[in-house]
Amino acid sequence: MKNKDYINGEIKDKFRITDSMIKIDEKRKEDTLLLLQKNIERKQFRVLNGRKGILLNQLRYMDKSMTVIHLMLCVTLILITCVMKMRRVEKEDIIIFSMLLSGILAVVSILEISRVFSSGIAEISESCYFNVKQIVAFQMLISGIINLMLFSVEILFAGYGWKIELVHIALYILVPFVFTECVCLGVLLMEAGRKKSYLLVMAGIFTMALFFVLSLSPKLYKATAIVVWGVAFMVGLFILVLQIKILFSGIKKGEMICTN
């Protein structure tokens, strides 16, 4: 301990001697201080008022490219639904379309958060106010709001336009969405999935193809099958919640951040 204190004292003495040998130009020092004061006077300071201001600034400066694509996709899908209504397509066709629609949105939703990890340096995504876990949660919230609005429109449109029970069409949309998210999020939880985004897309395409094949069976649309759809939704939701918990736990421990 004494040796350590002696070494620190010796180092401080050397710095003190070196500093005393440096000649400071008082005129240049004064000019520099004046220049700094002028720049400070011209500089605008923005004060963030509470959490609302912080959230608005996070929304302002976050990467919104995937969110914009998400919104454009939602508008496109609604327009396609309107065209299908004008052309009076069959009820089975709108159900299949709605199921595929929900699968596409599930893939896009997971891709939004995968961008944080695909670079391999997720810790750089942290801001002055939010860590990676909070940023991912924030992006999930925005994505969830967008999906909820689109699903509400699609459920009401398909329900009243094609005379389908709202509970039925809601399950036809939500079950593929939840299971596609489970599959894609499962891929994201793997290191290979975080490094290569195309694996998420491939997993999503596989899941949507599976539901497309299942949707061709008329037995799935009978009233007696609704119980099966309901159970499937609850099971998928449970798995999804568990995966999200694992995701946030991995981020907290650093396992999801350090992917290189």
| 260 — pLDDT class (breaks 50, 70, 90) | very low
* pLDDT number for residue 85: 86
pLDDT of residue 22: 72
Q: 78 near 150, Cβ under 8 Å?
A: yes
**Separation of alpha carbons 218 and 238, rounded Å:** 27
Beta-carbon-side half-sphere exposure of residue 146 (alpha carbons within 13 Å): 24
pTM: 0.74
Specify whether the backbone of 94 is left (phi greater than 0), alpha (psi in -120 to 50) or beta.
alpha
Q: Is the pLDDT of residue 163 over 80?
A: yes
**Is the pLDDT reported for residue 97 higher than 50?**
yes
The mean per-residue pLDDT over the stretch 156-163 comes to 88
| pLDDT tens per residue across span 54-83 | 677 767 767 778 888 899 989 988 899 889
- The mean pLDDT of the chain is 82
- Answer yes or no: is pLDDT of 123 > 60: no
pLDDT (0 to 100) of residue 191:
82
Q: 58-74 b/e with 16+ CB inside 10 Å = b?
A: beeebeeebbeebeebb
Residue 6 clears pLDDT 80, i.e. is over it: no
pLDDT tens digits, residue range 26-51? 777 787 888 777 777 666 555 556 67
Give me the amino acid identity at 46.
R
Which residues contact residue 177 at a Cβ distance below 8 angstroms, ignoring those fewer than 6 apart?
A: 102, 103, 105, 106, 147, 151
What percentage of the chain carries pLDDT values higher than 90? 27
What does the block give as tokens for 104?
């596409």
Q: 160 has which bridge partners?
A: none
> Looking up tokens 């939880």, which residue turns up?
189
Tokens of 165: 């029970």
Q: What mean pLDDT do residues 214-240 have? A: 88
Going by C-alpha positions, the residue among 189, 199, 196, 205 that lies closest to residue 250 is 189
CA-to-CA distance for 191 and 107, rounded, in angstroms?
A: 18
Mean pLDDT of 159-176: 90
